Amino acid sequence: MNVQNIVVAGKSGAGKQPRVDVLVQTYGLRQLATGNIFREYLGTFNKVRGNSKTDGLWTDGKFAADAAIRQALAPACAKTGVDIDAAVLGFKAAQYVDRGRFVPDEITNALLAAAFRAGSGKGFVLDGYPRTPDQSDFLLALAKDCGTHIDLVLIVDNEDEAIVARTIGRRVCPNKTCAKVFHLQFKPPTPDGKCTACGTAVVQRSDDTEEKIRTRLAGIPKQGPARYPAPISRWHPHRVGPGNLPVFTDEAVRDSVLAVVQPALRS
């Protein structure tokens, strides 16, 4: 089966990652997660953060001119060899991520497009993008421009309190070549807190605190389940899968995903 791209959607912490893993393994796709892209740019900014004077560059939700941001970051970037354009984007993303807010479309679209084009616009499971109607429009236009398409949107549905419990128990392997995801209850690391795949000590993401996840959830409309924004849900096949399962094992997750996805891809 020739699958070009699948979007996995749902609230942050709904349980998307185990479903992404199934799709990657089953269809030979690669995960393209905006969260990972953000963390890469945030990491770049953090290399110069302590040696840069950024006070006054973000006030009441508004940024200073790019020239002012570049001027503030330039000395530290020159000293550390950090790409200043990446540092500027990282600085902008940090102002939202540090406060538990969603990064606005303009910044998110630019980061996603670079990664999508670098992979020729196909072979991806998109995770965490798109989240808004504008991002949906952008992705559809981007795929068309690359001569590809979106085969399916899989929506992972879950209740807010279950999401909070799942998120604060999540741990990740910081080794970029591994990046395996764990949960202290459902899929724990080793007893001494290390990755079962590579042995690296697992960590909690900075945005996986209860305060920040509740802030993100508060920004999502409460009407109905975690349905996906138009126009992707109208223009593309979309299916809803449960984020919570009676038995949470790798086999149970795989069976639940393929039971929803395979009939849709065959139709």
Model confidence pLDDT, tens digit, residues 111-133: 899 889 989 999 999 998 888 88
pLDDT tens, residue by residue, 53-65: 999 999 888 999 9
3-state secondary structure of 164: helix
**Contacts with 240 (C-beta within 8 Å, 6 or more apart), sequence order:** 155, 157, 225, 260
Cβ atoms 7, 235 nearer than 8 A? no
Q: Which residue has the tokens 């942050």?
A: 12
| Residue that wins the pLDDT comparison between 99 and 184 | 184
218-222, 238-242, 249-253: segment of lowest average pLDDT: 218-222
Looking up tokens 């109208």 gives 234
| Three-class SS state of 52 | coil
Q: CB-hemisphere CA count at 13 Å for 162? A: 12
**Is residue 4 a contact partner of residue 149, using CB atoms and an 8 Å limit?**
yes
Spell 112-138 as b/e; 16+ CB within 10 A means b: bbebbeeeebbebbbbbbbbbeebbbb
Give 223 or 259, the one with higher predicted confidence: 259
pTM of the model: 0.72
Quote the CA–CA distance of 130 and 124 in Å, as a whole number: 13
Position 221 confidence tier, pLDDT thresholds 50, 70, 90: low
Exposed/middle/buried for 15, CB within 10 Å: 0-12, 13-18, 19+? buried
Q: Report, as an integer, the average pLDDT of 73-100.
A: 92
Cα–Cα distance list, 41 to 38, 47, 110 (Å): 5, 10, 12
Q: Is the pLDDT of residue 223 over 60?
A: no
What residue type is assigned to position 10 of the chain? G
**In angstroms, rounded to a whole number, what is the distance separating the alpha carbons of residues 157 and 142?**
26
User: In the predicted model, is pLDDT for residue 13 greater than 70?
Assistant: yes
Rama region for 142: left / alpha / beta (φ>0; ψ in -120 to 50; rest): alpha
Percent of the chain with pLDDT over 90: 53
Q: Which residue has the higher pLDDT, 94 or 133?
A: 94
